[in-house]
Structure 1
């Protein structure tokens, strides 16, 4: 069994040899294959707040059923739901430990020849940056994941979590360039088939597919997740920010449409993240506490330390302590650098 230091070295080598998170995850899955016998996989990166998939490296046999898996994820309380793994602190689960209780196992995995599944939340510093899911097929000589394989993945999880955090934050330094006012729209039927789209939407869809190595006919995971969540939440509109390497962040918004003959459709809006959306995202992405966010917003307005202290009902020394932690989390040395890194560079004036 490989220890944490060994996985750290392998991870660093994969980081060095990859240009983005997609390539890194591909390489790490292949490294894992040297020590664990599995037949299929899906390794996603997630939005740390909603835990939606914002891109995945997926083996083809799973790609074929991924949409069904996403639908079950949000529509049913099942064994090892991704959110449940994170919120419970369990972080990893083997389906064969409770497969008789799983609708996903009976309705999706077994009909497609799979006998077992491991789901692992790739956590670092209390945040989930992705999920690793491994599958075994019934024809495999060892059709159920063994305890030592489970333990090996437990060792790997924080290593990959830390690496995915670094990739996640590196994209904060980038910004998608589009013309003001531009927007893309995609219309889907209830089965997520594309009915029509605008030219801008076609361009952004191409970016999303390239980000996951998908073909033209495949629907990107963030859109799959948004649609599945929309249907499960009974018409509650969904909004998600998705990182695109070398491009920046785009927004995906999903909502229902109803045709004149009462046929349900889904509208997907695709656009560059607005200043307001980027501000909310950046404050959360750097893991600022609610109080730290308040300090930053006050500081953004040009308010001096003593007035910030008065407005928030705390001492000036406490404000300074908050600022030190904020600088550390964002990776800057002073106020001016913080203002540039979070606000001026993105023309955030709100």
Structure 2
């Protein structure tokens, strides 16, 4: 590992939050793979939609709002879903288009108007789980990204992904207020109306200036775009995502495109509420890097089974089950079955 990559790894180990992680890695990455603009997103592992943990560098006004609309509604080269599924997990626009970037709608309508030429995208992936995505841009005056650049990015993907996973695993939430909030958006993503609870929870997501729709409101842009994609048949749905708000609490967003009595297109309804235990458990299980067998044992513990009962159900010896429990306790950072269930399944968002 060269010294510049090692500096990125060190930055990952000391970051205090997802946004601080992106800032620290970006500072080091400029020396490793030069770039002129960037977008960094933590993602919901199940949907790959961006959360409120965002870093945006040198992206023009107006382009942030349409970013996830393009991602969800325009069939294009190098979409994040394709990058995450690809073997390398990293790709460049010049490479995938055969040095014909203008064949990409994103290049014509997003990159070129801002003076950018090539684009490099990466998925911060561990195994098959993606914890974040990266979008780097180079000005047209610069040479495109190279195979060497892609290899350098591949080297930093695991430590960044591990850091993002660790933030998810370490999240603890305060008690939640009662009831969901609802907001309506028009076809262009403009807020039409909302109730008092939605206003409270949107402020939790986007901060005190959420009405200006800063980058921290990315999940709202993303979920409304996904809802439109579902209606158009471009995505199987449902339009649901989970995110960690600035408060440290996990929230759930659900969006659906409404219709008028005559079938005409209506606004998009977004429901935002504290996430339920069953919604967050899969993220926490993945965040603690439990193997499939360890997940089976953990679910059995949550059901109240004894070691002997777990052994019989999974065709293991009781001794093997106890070994699994020791490993699971160490990974999750608990010392008892009760703590394990409370940490992974008894999510406190429904308390109040």
TM-score by length of 2: 0.84
How far off its partner does 1:250 sit? 0.7
Shift of 1:57: 0.9
Partner of 2:123, secondary structure, is strand
**Counterpart pick for 2:334 among 328, 332, 335:** 332
Q: Write out per-residue CA displacement over residues 7-29 of structure 1, whole angstroms, 9 at most, x where no aligned residue.
A: 2234345x2xxx42112212321
Q: Deviations over 1:188-209 (max 9, x none)?
A: 0011100001122112212222
- What whole-Å deviation, never above 9, does each CA across 1:64-112 have from its counterpart, x for those lacking one? 3234332332334432221212212221111112342433223432234
Distance 2:185 2:9 in 1: 42
The equivalent position to 1:96 in structure 2, one of 80, 94, 99, is 94
Aligned CA distance change for structure 1 residues 348 and 290 (closer, same or farther; 3 Å): farther
SS in structure 1 of the partner of residue 207 of structure 2? helix
Moved more, 183-192 or 318-327: 318-327
Q: Secondary structure at the match of 2:182?
A: strand
Q: CA deviation at 1:134?
A: 0.8
Give the distance between the partners of 1:103 and 1:210, measured in 2 at CA.
Answer: 32
Q: Specify the alignment match of 2:63 in structure 1.
A: 65
Mapped to 1, the partners of 2:147 and 2:180 lie a distance apart of 49
Q: What CA distance in whole angstroms lies between the structure 2 residues aligned with 1:133 and 1:330?
A: 31
Aligned match for 2:19, one of 19, 22, 26: 22
Pick closer, same or farther for the CA change 1:156–1:323 going to 2, 3 Å.
Answer: same
| Residue aligning to 1:120 | 122
Deviates more, 1:308-317 or 1:80-89: 308-317
Structure 2 CA distance for aligned equivalents of residues 348 and 94 of structure 1 = 43
- The two structures have a TM-score, normalised by structure 1, of 0.84
**Residue 273 to residue 3, structure 1, CA distance change in 2 (3 Å):** same
How many Å separate the matches in 1 of 2:285 and 2:34? 41
Q: Classify the secondary structure of the residue corresponding to 1:61.
A: coil
Name the CA distance, whole Å, in 1 between partners of 2:255 and 2:289: 26
List aligned pairs for 1:161-310, cutoff 5 A. Answer: 161-171=161-171, 174-180=172-178, 182-210=179-207, 216-218=212-214, 220-234=217-231, 236-260=237-261, 262-310=264-312
Which residue in 2 is equivalent to 1:4? 5
More relative contact order in 1 or in 2 (CA 8 Å, sep 6+)? 2
- Residue aligning to 1:51: 48
- TM-aligned CA deviation for residue 169 of structure 1: 1.8
C-alpha contact (below 8 Å) 1:186/1:194 kept by paired residues? yes
Deviating more after overlay: 26-35 vs 261-270: 26-35
Query: How has the CA–CA distance of structure 1 residues 293 and 147 changed in structure 2, closer, same or farther, with 3 Å as cutoff?
Result: closer
Partners of 2:9 and 2:177 in 1: CA distance? 42
Return the offset for 1:131.
1.2
Q: Is the 8 A contact 2:84 2:122 kept in 1?
A: no
User: Per-residue CA shift, 1:163-183, capped at 9, x if unaligned?
Assistant: 222222222xx1143223x21
Structure 1 alignment gaps of length 5 or more: none
* Aligned equivalent of 1:133: 135
**Alignment CA distance shift 1:276-1:67 (3 Å):** same
Are the structure 2 counterparts of residues 348 and 190 from structure 1 closer, same or farther at C-alpha, using a change threshold of 3 Å?
A: closer
Kept in 2: contact 1:253–1:270 (CA 8 A): yes
User: Do the aligned partners of residues 12 and 339 (structure 1) sit closer, same or farther apart at CA in structure 2, a change above 3 Å counting?
Assistant: closer
Deviation (angstroms), 1:41: 0.7
57 and 63 in structure 1: CA distance in 2 versus 1, 3 angstrom threshold: farther
The 1-side partners of 2:162 and 2:292 are apart by 23
CA change 1:97–1:66 in 2 (3 A) is same
* Map of 2:150 onto structure 1: 150
Once residues 85 and 92 of structure 2 are traced to their aligned partners in structure 1, the CA distance between those partners, rounded to angstroms, is: 17
Return 5+ residue gaps in structure 2 as ranges.
none
